Structures are given as C-alpha cells and as structure tokens.
Chain A
C-alpha cells in the first residue's frame, strides 16, 4: 500500500478482513510463484526469444569475447598475408627478379624524362611573330622526345 488512508471504521471487522485476506494470500503452496512465472515465461518470454538473465547473451561473456577477438585477429592477419603474397607462389625467385628488372627500368625511364625536360630550350620569352622561324627545331625535338618515350615504354 503506497498510501494508507483510513477513516474511522468498525475496527474489528476491518481487522478480521485483513486476517481473512492474509489467509487467502497464504493459501497457495510454496511453488505457486514458480508456476505463475513458468506460465509467463512459456507463453510470452520464450516465444519472444529475448535475452534472459539466466542465459546471458554470448557477447556478455568475457571468454566468448576473447575467443571471438582471437579469431578476428587470426583471420585479419591471414587476409593480409594472402593479399600480399605473390601470385606464383611455387617459384618466387624469378618473380622477385622480374620485379627488380621492372623497377630498374622504371627508374631509368624517370631519369630520361628528367633529362629531356632539362634539354628543352627555354622558349618562354619568345613570341610567335618575332621568333616563329626559330621554333621549327622544336618539332624535331618533340619527335625525338616522343620516339624516346615510346622506346622506353616498350622496353618497360
């Protein structure tokens, strides 16, 4: 009872009613609450399939979490190893050698481009009207550059 408001009343009858009610409440056997709870669980809680206190969700178990984390780490490491591995795993030597050749040629290609860039005359000060004839040699130079780049590309 959260609020006990009693007015003057025939106390004897009221006390006897309380006594009678106590008897009624004490009437069920000790398993009464268990039966009621089982009824609620069987008819409502179990069909819902909600997490229950007796069987906590697996992620609330530290052991299960540790196992899951270990599996995740192993799987992640495996994936990295698999992704980083060469395609021809049976004979890695030639692949590595081939990889080295490519890198060497690529470096040479970069150096060639840098050389060509340095070899270009500075035409930034010229105008088409005054120095047009002197620009004829640029065509030849571009042809050479194109040819060189093409050769390098093919070699790579």
Chain B
C-alpha cells in the first residue's frame, strides 16, 4: 500500500513539474489547469479567515499573479514543494489583509465587524453556523492548522512545510483544536439554551 501511494505521489509530482514548466513558459493551458486545481482551495482558505467573498476572490487573484510573476521570471526555487509554497504565499497575503484591517480599525477608532465572524451568506444549517462562530474563537495558530487542513486540503506534511513547524506539533495542535471547537460549540449551544429558557 505504501509503495502504491509513493508511486502515485511520484507520478503526481512529475505531472505537476511538467505543468509548472509549461506555466513558466507562459502557456495559457497550463495556467488554466493551475487555476482549476488551486483557486477554490485558496478561496476557501481566504474566505474562512476573512469572511468576505469579494476579498477572498481578490486574494486568490493576487496570490496567483504573484505565483505567475515568480514562475515566468524563472525565480521559482521551491522545486518539489509547490503546494507548500503556494499556500505560504496565500497565508502571508491573508495575514497582510488582516493586519491592514486591524490598522484601519485602530485609525478610524470604529468598530468594524469581526473579520472572521463576518460572513456574506448566512447558512441555513445551524450546525455549520455554529462551527464558523467557533472557528472565530480559536487562536491564530489553531485556526491556521484547521483551515490549511480542511479548507486548503493540505496534508500534515505540507502544512509542516507551510508553517515551518514539526509535523508532530501540528498533529497535536490539530487534535487539540478539534477538541476546543467541540467544547466551544457545546458551550455556545448551552448558552443559547439558557437564553431561550430565561
């Protein structure tokens, strides 16, 4: 099983390398494929963290433009670690956006809606809403590992490459973050129950 997985990974890596070579040559078809592979994963990551659909799309465009500029200029040096690099670029861009918003909040001294809590589309499923709200209460580090894992669909190995942290630490953090989420959701539900009864 392990060998099969390794072979599959190797084939995927080879295909990705070919794709990146064509993308670096500026071939449209290669960029169409890269966009199809990654844009929605990047979008989900940005949307979950920033809450805004428009901002998330803007970030996806910005990240892929950065990637295209680097690749076509021959400055891509992360051979074999493309996904980690791509998501690191995305995380940096998302952090920049969060900092910008925080500065804006301080300068205007106005209360902006919580970036993480603001969502464009209310979901009709209470469970998912509760989960979104619970995500907002996680620490940045916990939230990052959850979002890279579930929204970005990265393996723990890739998350380790993105965050430059040991995989064991990330596995433990992910497990702890899931427990925290469950705890937060249960607490919120019981609070709501109390409010309803009073």
Contact = CB atoms under 8 A, between A and B. Distances in A.
A60 interface: no
Nearest to A3: B155
A40 B154 contact: no
Interface of B: 5, 9, 12, 25-29, 31-32, 35-36, 39-41, 43-44, 47-48, 53, 57, 60-61, 64-65, 68-69, 72, 83, 121, 123, 127-128, 131-132, 146, 150-151, 153-158, 167, 171, 174-175, 178-179, 181-182, 185
A7 B28 contact: no
B65 A21 contact: no
Interface of A: 1-5, 7-10, 12-14, 16-21, 23-28, 32-33, 35-37, 39-41, 43-45, 48, 50-54
Contact of A4 (B26, B64, B155): B155
A28 B32 CA distance: 16
A27 B55 CA distance: 13
B131 A36 contact: no
A39 B132 contact: no
Given A23-B123, A24-B48, A3 B156 contact: yes
A45 B31 contact: yes
A41 B5 CA distance: 35
Given A10-B178, A10-B182, A5 B171 contact: yes
Contact of A44 (B60, B68, B174): B68
Contact of B72 (A14, A26, A45): A45
Contacts of B153: 1, 21
A14 B60 CA distance: 25
Contacts of B132: 20
Contact of B57 (A24, A28, A43, A53): A28
Contacts of A40: 31, 35, 61, 64-65, 68
Contact of A32 (B40, B83, B181): B40
B26 A52 contact: yes
A9 B61 contact: no
A3 B20 CA distance: 21
B131 A20 contact: yes
A43 B65 contact: yes
Contacts of A45: 26, 28, 31, 68, 72
A9 B47 contact: no
Contacts of A39: 61, 64-65
B174 A27 contact: no
Contact of A17 (B35, B65, B72, B131): B131
Contacts of A23: 123, 128
Given A27-B44, A45-B31, 13 more contacts: A3-B5, A3-B156, A3-B158, A12-B182, A14-B178, A21-B151, A25-B40, A25-B44, A33-B35, A37-B32, A44-B72, A52-B28, A53-B27
